[in-house]
Chain A
Amino acid sequence: MSRHTGHGPLVAFTSLAIAGAGLIVASACFEVVHHHRFPSALVAGVLLQATGLTVSLGHLGQKRRAWLAVRRTGRSALSNEVVSASLALASGVFAAGMGAWDRPDPTVTLIAGVVNAAFLVSIGLVYRVGGQRTWQGASVLTPLTGGCAFGAITIQAWSVTGGVLNMVLLLAVLDAAVFVQRWREVAAIRIPAASLTGSGMSHRDQLLGARLILLDVLPFFLLLAGPTPLAAVVAAAGLVVDRTGFYALALQRTTEHELAGVEEILASARNPHK
């Protein structure tokens, strides 16, 4: 990953997929807990997810072999993500279709919500790889909590019948708590100065702080004044900052990084010959 020249397609894919799945999960939460139906949110979620999956396909070096990605289902986290993405999209299409034909079924929406929540967890698990120091711990959960917070804010932002603000608050606070834990984990990592060059780590507090404010804090305060699409736009910007920061903060322990760390120790060490 350290040699990736651009993370644009990954940022786009994960932002769209997390936003789409988050909308479907939040719709399911609203419908099951408060019996409020938001069929247009399901449709929007499916469209976002489908766009994200298309972008994901586009970043492959060999697009015609994309179907091979499911060969190691159950053994590779990436295969699991591909399978769960397909199931999430299918369940979302089914739930949205039921709503569009005026036959909404809470059970179908609930199933779609659960499957999409599993997909969001699978995104987190893909990046939990040994040696990637900033992608451990709470970062596994941030796609789920961030997606749900975005979904709830977006539904509330366009709600004409009156959404449920306490559900938005609950999901935003949950996401903020998980994200603050991730921030603490990232802040605790000791990094050789040489590894900071050209890395997002030198701006980590700005990136993480912007994400927290844009996705969790500012939209909620905007919604307190009443439903406004601006809250959804700000939350979407927060989601993009979240994914941009996630890849920018990648810190792989390659041999080059390890050597840089040793060089730094040598430079600061006392001369043992004296």
Chain B
Amino acid sequence: MSGAGFLLDLHRCVGCGACVLACRIENGRVLATAWRRVLPLNLRRQPAGPTYFLSVACHHCDEPACLRGCPSGAYEKRPDGIVVHREELCLGCRYCEMTCPFGTPRFDEDRGVVSKCHLCAHRLDAGLAPACVVACPTDALRYVPATAAPPADAVRFVPGFVDPAGCRPTLHFTTPAGARRVELFRHLGKALRR
């Protein structure tokens, strides 16, 4: 991993939304502009594929599209890889909403600026883990600092999570264990490539 990011264990995540709530409380977000969201896959439990939840926020990409596109330089990548948004420089043009392929930046109508997850940089600087990670009751969501490597079996992409704009997101996944599950992921991957 080149920058700090999250590691999500798809086998452990039960989609409870505690991470979303913790993020909202920590950063004072209303639901409409929440930085983290939990997206389910296959809630109908179609037998052809696995069921899991993607708890996603900003992926603090190595090549962030938001930073590339921003005309005012409101986005900044810290030395530890965290992509922060400086609201005092934001025009509210919402171009980052167009460029980010992960739907991360959220426009706040009342304040006229965009905002997004900063990986709880204030907590990290104080030696604490991000609020969403602390709140996760199953340890599905973990923080991986820039200095550490994700587990050897971690993967960067799973069905439903791709990198269409070459941003190189730092989010990693550990997938459900067992050869049969791995086969299902491969089967889905082939179908998506077609």
Q: Could you list which residues of chain A lie within 8 angstroms of chain B, going by C-beta atoms?
A: 1-4, 59-62, 65-66, 68-72, 75-79, 82, 126-127, 129-132, 250, 252-256, 258-259, 261-263, 265-267, 269-273
**Main SS class of interface, B:** loop
Question: Distance (Å) between the CB of A234 and the closest chain B CB?
Answer: 30
Q: Is the CB of B71 within 8 A of A69?
A: yes
In the assembled complex, the Cα of A82 lies from the Cα of B69 at a distance in Å of: 13
In the assembled complex, the Cα of A265 lies from the Cα of B185 at a distance in Å of: 12
Q: Known contacts A79-B71, A272-B47; is A255 also within 8 Å of B103 by CB?
A: yes
Contact of B103 among A129, A254, A272 (CB under 8 A): A254
Q: Is the CB of B72 within 8 A of A252?
A: no
Question: Distance (Å) between the CB of A127 and the closest chain B CB?
Answer: 8
Q: List B contacts of A263 (CB < 8 A).
A: 41-42, 46
Q: Is the CB of B46 within 8 A of A70?
A: no
In the assembled complex, the Cα of A134 lies from the Cα of B8 at a distance in Å of: 31
B160 within 8 A of A: yes
In the assembled complex, the Cα of A258 lies from the Cα of B102 at a distance in Å of: 10
In the assembled complex, the Cα of A78 lies from the Cα of B91 at a distance in Å of: 12
Contact of A61 among B41, B68, B94, B167 (CB under 8 A): B94
Question: Distance (Å) between the CB of B20 and the closest chain A CB?
Answer: 15
Q: Is the CB of B103 within 8 A of A76?
A: no
Given A71-B71, A76-B70, A265-B48: 6 more A-B contacts, CB < 8 Å: A61-B93, A76-B68, A77-B69, A255-B161, A261-B192, A262-B192
In the assembled complex, the Cα of A269 lies from the Cα of B47 at a distance in Å of: 9
Q: List A contacts of B93 (CB < 8 A).
A: 59-61, 69, 78
In the assembled complex, the Cα of A61 lies from the Cα of B39 at a distance in Å of: 28
Q: List A contacts of B42 (CB < 8 A).
A: 262-263, 266
Q: Is the CB of B47 within 8 A of A61?
A: no
Binds A, one of B10-18, B105-113, B127-135: B105-113
**Within residues 52 to 106 of chain B, which ones have a CB less than 8 A from any CB in chain A?**
54, 56, 65, 68-73, 89-95, 97-103
Q: Is the CB of B72 within 8 A of A131?
A: no
